Structure 1
Amino acid sequence: MQFSEVTKGVIKYLLFFFNFLFLISGLGILIAGIVVLHDVTDFNHFLDDRITAPPIILIIAGLLIFVIAFFGCYGALKESPKLLYAFAFLLAIIFIIEIAVGIAAITFRNDLEGILNTQLRQSMIRQNKDDMMAWDTVQKKLQCCGIDGPRNWFEKNETKEAVPASCCRPQYIDRDTQNCLNAAPLYMDRVYTEGCLSKVHDRVASKASILIGVGIGIAFIQFMGIALAIWLAQAIKKEAAAS
């Protein structure tokens, strides 16, 4: 296949344009990873490591894209096939990573409810200091109580008033004892009635959807950059061979 100077110039400028998109996508991936990681940090105690790993991988990938984009721009500017092939190779690695993150997020999202249910029930049985701190954080932030509702605490503690203060609506917390005032079933209007399992699941699942969209969506944009880099490298090599 022969490449004219015009064709080569068009490919070069297209590659510069896609490198600009790569920089933007790198920033997008970085921000998405940070936002998701920050948002699920409060629930880490109840999450499997497999669920918190994808946003960390995306953060690393976002940082790498800034470096990789340099190879594309510099390789196109210097018309260096080696740099362009290096750019395409590195971009292909990021492409595979992003596809893998997207697939992993889909898999983990499907397993999420079972993982959360197990972790929440085990922590309720243990009720050590770390468990209760995690429960208090989740119940206050998501305004929920127990796994399926406050009765989980009543049943576990074998008393009609044994719910953590974090289950209580702020206006019904005793300022002196920091306990819930009259939180027995007769006063259920004073505590959060929705369980935390569904709320944590919905919150984390929505973040998984962000990872899926960002990981897979941007990966296909990068695939076009790989094709352009290889195309331009071949054009430069053919021109050098012909001269």
Structure 2
Amino acid sequence: MDHFSLVFTKQAVYIFNLLFGVTAISVLGISTIIYCDYLRFHHFIGDHSWIAPFFLMAIGGCVFLITVLCCYGTIKENAQIIQVFLVLLAWIFFFEIGTSVVIYIKRNQFIGTLDNSFDSMLNNHVKNEEAWNDIQTELKCCGINGPKDWTEKLNITIPKSCCGIQTTANCTEENAVKIGCKMHLLKYLERLCIMLAGTGFGFGWIQIVVIGYASFMFNEFRKSFGQFTQRLL
């Protein structure tokens, strides 16, 4: 191996590091967006803390830091640092896939939480008027299970946000959206879980493919550097 081969393998390692950095930033960004989406309706999810996005955000951040470590190891031509990089990345891969599996399996566990929080929000509808208007406008829904929650349970006028349009006239049961917000929000949260799990699965398998190629290139890098050093001596 000559100096050109050593330079070539180092450049290949840099390219793989770039791919890892892109996947890390993508996982971090998508997880953050999903969590911000979730926060819009946190009033109706009660005290339930959805920590799943935090796990993938942490994974994205860790992968990015490990990528920086690998770049440092490549610059310093330190095979030990590169080996540490591969071990850490393998552990993170399994953690990422495991987290994605748990998110997908437990995506239906919001039902019990939503039952309690929606009842509480409806009973305190005066204090939570803005939150009700936001969710009914955003998700195009009405009440917990439908407009009758307002007229029969509370015996009050249906909020204008149930009609989906801004009007000066009162919203009637005939004009109101017939679908309740609990079912809409449940389906919405399930979609977020599937998106989050898909993000972890998708980028996780991309990373494992890159790990395979990177392992080969790192091995070539070590051989090239060793042979190049022997020739200098």
Query: Is 1:204 matched with 2:195?
Result: no
- For residues 156-183 of structure 1, the C-alpha deviation after alignment (integer angstroms, 9 at most, x for no partner) is 21x2x43334324434345xxxxxx163
Partner of 2:76: 78
Find the partner of 1:44 among 42, 45, 60.
Answer: 42
Partner of 1:215: 200
1:91-106 correspondence to structure 2 within 5 Å? 91-106=89-104
Check the 8 A contact 1:33/1:58 in 2, yes or no.
Answer: yes
Find the partner of 2:138 among 138, 141, 145.
Answer: 141
Query: Is 1:22 matched with 2:15?
Result: no
Query: Is 1:236 matched with 2:222?
Result: yes
Partner of 1:193: 178
Amino acid aligned to 1:148: N
Name the SS for the 1:135 alignment partner: helix
Measure, in 1, the Cα distance between the counterparts of 2:5 and 2:65: 27
Question: Structure 2: any 5+ residue segments left out of the alignment?
Answer: none
The sequence identity of aligned pairs, in percent, is 28
Partner of 1:178: none
Measure, in 2, the Cα distance between the counterparts of 1:141 and 1:41: 13
Measure, in 2, the Cα distance between the counterparts of 1:173 and 1:107: 45
Q: How far does residue 145 in structure 1 lie from its aligned partner after superposition?
A: 0.5
Measure, in 2, the Cα distance between the counterparts of 1:106 and 1:30: 18
Measure, in 1, the Cα distance between the counterparts of 2:19 and 2:122: 47
Check the 8 A contact 1:80/1:233 in 2, yes or no.
Answer: no
* Closer/same/farther in 2, CA of residues 182 and 89 from structure 1, 3 Å limit: closer
Check the 8 A contact 2:160/2:167 in 1, yes or no.
Answer: no
Check the 8 A contact 2:157/2:171 in 1, yes or no.
Answer: no
Check the 8 A contact 2:56/2:96 in 1, yes or no.
Answer: yes
TM-score normalised by the chain length of structure 2: 0.78
Name the SS for the 2:51 alignment partner: helix
Find the partner of 1:55 among 48, 53, 67.
Answer: 53
* Closer/same/farther in 2, CA of residues 34 and 90 from structure 1, 3 Å limit: same
Question: Structure 1: any 5+ residue segments left out of the alignment?
Answer: 175-180
Measure, in 2, the Cα distance between the counterparts of 1:218 and 1:48: 31
Check the 8 A contact 2:160/2:171 in 1, yes or no.
Answer: no
TM-score normalised by the chain length of structure 1: 0.75
Find the partner of 1:152 among 144, 149, 173.
Answer: 149
Name the SS for the 2:146 alignment partner: coil
Q: RMSD in angstroms over aligned alpha carbons?
A: 3.3
* Closer/same/farther in 2, CA of residues 49 and 78 from structure 1, 3 Å limit: farther
Measure, in 1, the Cα distance between the counterparts of 2:204 and 2:81: 21
Judging by fraction of residues, say which structure has more helix: 1
Check the 8 A contact 2:16/2:214 in 1, yes or no.
Answer: no
Check the 8 A contact 1:51/1:105 in 2, yes or no.
Answer: no
The range that moved more, 114-123 or 32-41, is: 114-123
Check the 8 A contact 2:6/2:225 in 1, yes or no.
Answer: no
Measure, in 1, the Cα distance between the counterparts of 2:26 and 2:82: 24
Measure, in 2, the Cα distance between the counterparts of 1:92 and 1:142: 40
Measure, in 2, the Cα distance between the counterparts of 1:50 and 1:233: 47
- For residues 171-215 of structure 1, the C-alpha deviation after alignment (integer angstroms, 9 at most, x for no partner) is 4345xxxxxx163x4xx21x2222112221222222222211111
Measure, in 2, the Cα distance between the counterparts of 1:215 and 1:128: 40
